[in-house]
């Protein structure tokens, strides 16, 4: 087939590549009104934007369907990351192969002297990252005096990454007659300023929302208890069993932790973050490409520019900082017309924030619970049945072995062993704390009246150590699905205490109170500070603060909740202390918590006085 408005050599290249139609951004840059003009294009990643600027450059570059001989470059493409630059270079290589283009790629982490040699041998197209291109320019290896077209790819990313100076220096070294194509997922003010300075009468093109890349991603928001995040990741990976999945964390520390934990569970996972060398990065990407690894745990920056055609699942393990980051991360899947799923893991306290982010970005997400271990096992069975029932041609040797097995065992035994052997290859799913078989309301929250509270004393025996205790407050309550089953592990993790060192947990509508023996209260408070961010919260939005007055609301009575409390207290004692012990509601008002000495009120150190902070977040 031929593509309208394109030079035959480019049209042939697209046909040979198997493309059947242009994507919206490719059509728009090829229209007559765009010819020869500067373009300011907002297009999502995955929209076919690389081929789009490849096509747009055609008019400047081709002479009778061929690339002219050139002693210095005619086209320059600047991209934010090494991977993106290499990917651009690969795409332009097949697009311009028949036209006889010579392309040099100049990126950080590669041998600069080789690049200098390539530049010296006469190339028509140069693709590179800002820092490396600037180096070549300053050393005189890159001559931009004959440049006809300059392309800035993912310009917003480049400005975000602090490349403004490099970009300006490079563009200032090009002829004023050049054509400038600016591609950016978003057009915030700094991009508008850049466009004003370096473009003339630019045609504004926006295909955001029309691109297949965007439309082919199904968004899911999975609500979980903060302590269940990792379990939810495990179950999602197991349920989807994606050929390639990418998991996003906010910090390199969290990438390291999650990666280690997944590898330990038996997932074939690699990690990408700022702490990895170029060699480690290459090795990780290669493992994903040749399918030795199926899962990639990454930070936003480290994952930029990565194009893995088999990537069908993106999991936002930690909530992206804004809607743009959400779209950037999600855009790693749903590429080239394929379907992808982007799952946002939403700890209960963050529900509203994510809801707002999705609405702001006009993304319709399906809200749901995390898959349970039972869901995963059911899907496993379906997959196993399908796999084992697929007809296969057997080797004679295998048939002989099968006959020997049949002579020794029943068919049922052999089939069961086969199933067991297959299952053993898969990491086991996780039992999540908070999506047991209880009823749920329409928003996916456990039904009211089904939760229990942790009593002050468990099991009828007075627990020692809580006669003199100190109260703390959590900024989450029933409205955020607060539940001792996930609060307990969270408190242990944040405060570096064991669950036996936590007394009562009292859940109010919007806050939760709990008490800690006075003897360890300072140590607990210190650990809480160290495990919090600047806002005093952890990653899931939970803040812990001293509450010297203790709770002011009465304890809820359990109405037949599900399961026993984690401290083993029988259900009959739920929500109240046994033996007619003072409940919180009956607590004498005034200083000191229940059991606290009224005159000896705990004076916590203000949380503002920070001890040494946790290392890099
Ligand atoms: P990009 O937005 O440039 O990252 O491209 C995303 C993917 O879409 C790349 O793998 C391209 O090779 C592929 N692609 C680009 N244009 C088309 C098209 N017209 N038809 C099918 N696939 C395409």
315-364 pLDDT, tens digit per residue, is 999 999 888 788 888 888 876 667 889 999 999 888 888 999 898 888 88
Task: Look at ligand 1, atom 20, and give the residue with the nearest C-alpha.
Answer: 19
Consecutive H or E run containing 125:
strand 125-128
Q: Is the CB of 90 under 6 A from ligand 1?
A: no
Confirm if 611 and 529 have CB atoms less than 8 A apart.
yes
Indicate which residue's Cα is closest to atom 23 of ligand 1. Answer: 336
pLDDT at residue 174 is higher than 70: yes
The response to whether residue 19 sits with its C-beta less than 6 Å from ligand 1 reads: yes
Q: Of 240, 228, 308, 295, which Cα lies nearest the Cα of 267?
A: 295
In angstroms, what is the span from residue 346 Cα to ligand 1's centroid? Answer: 31
Binding site membership of 349 for ligand 1 (Cβ less than 6 Å): no
Q: Is the CB of 94 under 6 A from ligand 1?
A: no
What pTM, to 2 d.p., does this model score? 0.56
Q: Supply the residue whose CA is at minimum distance from atom 8 of ligand 1.
A: 336
221 pLDDT more than 90: yes
> Residue 455's pLDDT is what?
52
Q: What is the DSSP letter of 91?
A: H
pLDDT computed for residue 280 by the predictor: 87
Q: Which CA distances in Å does 349 have to 172, 444, 478, 484, 611? A: 49, 14, 10, 15, 26
Question: Distance from the CA of 520 to the center of ligand 1, in angstroms?
Answer: 59
With 60 as the cut, is the pLDDT of residue 452 above it?
A: no
Instruction: Answer yes or no: is the C-beta of 335 below 6 A from any ligand 1 atom.
Output: yes
Q: How confident is the model at residue 423 (pLDDT cuts 50, 70, 90)?
A: confident
Q: 373 pLDDT exceeds 50? A: yes
| pLDDT tens track for 520-574 | 899 999 988 888 877 777 777 889 999 888 776 665 554 433 333 333 333 222 2
CA of 306 to the centre of ligand 1 (A): 13
Percent of the chain at pLDDT exceeding 70: 82
Kindly give the distance from the C-alpha atom of residue 66 to the centroid of ligand 1, in angstroms, as a whole number: 23
322 versus 133: the higher-pLDDT residue is 133
Above 90 in pLDDT, residue 85? yes
Ligand 1 centroid from CA 219, angstroms: 21
Give the C-alpha separation, 345 to 220, whole Å. Answer: 9
The answer to whether 299 touches 617, Cβ cutoff 8 Å, is no
pLDDT of residue 391 exceeding 90: no
Residue 400 in this model has a pLDDT that exceeds 90: yes
Percent of the chain with pLDDT over 90: 45
Query: Region 120-140: what's the mean pLDDT?
Result: 94
CA of residue 46 to ligand 1 center, whole Å: 6
Measured from the CB, is residue 50 less than 6 Å from ligand 1? yes
The rounded distance, in Å, linking the Cα atoms of 155 and 522 is: 49
Residues 51, 32: Cα–Cα separation, whole Å: 17
- 609 CA distance to ligand 1 middle (Å): 53
Residue that wins the pLDDT comparison between 444 and 487:
487
The protein residue with its alpha carbon nearest to ligand 1, atom 22, reads 336
Which pLDDT score is estimated for 337?
62
Q: Which residue lies with its CA nearest to atom 5 of ligand 1?
A: 48
For ligand 1, whether the C-beta of 49 sits within 6 Å is: yes
Atom 19 (ligand 1) nearest CA = 22
């Amino acid at each position: 087939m031929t593509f309208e408005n394109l030079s035959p050599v480019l049209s042939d290249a697209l046909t040979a590549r198997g493309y059947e139609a242009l994507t919206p951004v490719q059509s728009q840059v090829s229209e007559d009104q765009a010819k020869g003009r500067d373009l300011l294009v907002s297009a999502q990643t995955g929209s076919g934007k690389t081929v789009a600027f490849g096509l747009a450059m055609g008019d400047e570059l081709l002479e009778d369907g061929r690339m002219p001989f050139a002693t210095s470059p005619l086209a320059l493409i600047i991209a934010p990351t090494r991977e993106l630059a290499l990917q651009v270079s690969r795409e332009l290589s097949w697009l311009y192969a028949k036209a006889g283009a010579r392309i040099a790629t100049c990126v950080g982490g590669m041998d600069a002297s080789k690049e200098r040699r390539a530049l010296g041998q006469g190339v028509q197209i140069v693709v590179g990252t800002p820092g490396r291109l600037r180096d070549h320019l300053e050393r005189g290896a890159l001559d931009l005096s004959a440049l006809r077209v300059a392309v800035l790819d993912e310009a917003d990313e480049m400005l975000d990454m602090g490349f403004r100076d490099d970009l300006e220096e490079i563009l200032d070294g090009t002829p004023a007659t050049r054509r400038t194509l600016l591609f950016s997922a978003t057009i915030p003010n700094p991009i508008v300023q850049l466009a004003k300075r370096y473009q003339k009468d630019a045609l504004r093109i926006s295909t955001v929302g029309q691109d297949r890349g965007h439309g082919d991603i199904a968004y899911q928001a999975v609500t979980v208890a903060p302590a269940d995040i990792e379990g939810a990741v495990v179950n999602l990976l197991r349920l989807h069993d994606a050929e390639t999945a990418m998991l996003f964390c906010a910090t390199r520390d969290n990438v390291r932790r999650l990666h280690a934990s997944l590898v330990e569970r038996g997932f074939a996972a690699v990690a990408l973050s700022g702490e990895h060398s170029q060699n480690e990065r290459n090795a990780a990407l290669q493992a994903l490409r040749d399918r030795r690894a199926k899962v990639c745990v990454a930070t936003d920056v480290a994952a930029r520019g990565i194009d893995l055609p088999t990537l069908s699942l993106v999991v936002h393990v930690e909530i992206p900082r804004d809607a743009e980051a959400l779209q950037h991360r999600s855009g790693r899947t749903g590429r080239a017309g394929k379907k992808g799923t982007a799952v946002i893991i939403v700890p209960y306290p963050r529900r509203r924030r994510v809801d707002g982010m999705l609405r702001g970005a006009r993304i319709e997400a399906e809200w749901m619970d995390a898959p349970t271990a039972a869901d995963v096992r059911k899907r496993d069975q379906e997959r196993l049945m399908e796999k084992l029932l697929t007809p296969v041609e057997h080797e004679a040797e295998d048939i002989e072995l099968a006959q020997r097995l049949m002579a020794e065992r029943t068919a049922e035994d052999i089939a069961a062993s086969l199933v067991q052997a297959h299952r053993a290859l898969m990491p086991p799913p996780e039992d999540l704390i908070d999506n047991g078989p209880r009823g749920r309301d329409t928003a996916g929250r456990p039904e009211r009246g089904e939760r229990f509270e942790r009593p002050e004393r468990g099991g009828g025996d007075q627990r020692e150590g809580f006669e003199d205790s100190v109260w703390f407050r959590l900024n989450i309550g029933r409205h955020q699905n607060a539940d001792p089953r996930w609060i307990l592990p969270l408190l242990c993790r944040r405060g570096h205490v064991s669950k036996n060192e936590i007394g009562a947990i009292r859940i109010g509508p919007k806050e939760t109170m709990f008490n800690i023996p006075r003897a360890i209260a300072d140590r607990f408070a210190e650990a809480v500070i160290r495990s919090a961010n600047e806002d005093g919260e952890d990653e899931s939005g939970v803040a812990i603060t001293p509450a010297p007055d203790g709770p002011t609301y009465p304890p809820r009575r359990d109405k037949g909740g599900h399961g026993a409390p984690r401290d083993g207290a029988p259900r009959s004692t739920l929500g109240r202390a046994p033996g007619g012990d003072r409940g919180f509601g009956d607590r004498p008002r005034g200083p000191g918590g229940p059991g606290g000495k009224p005159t000896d009120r705990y004076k916590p150190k203000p949380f503002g006085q920070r001890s040494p902070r946790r290392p890099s977040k």
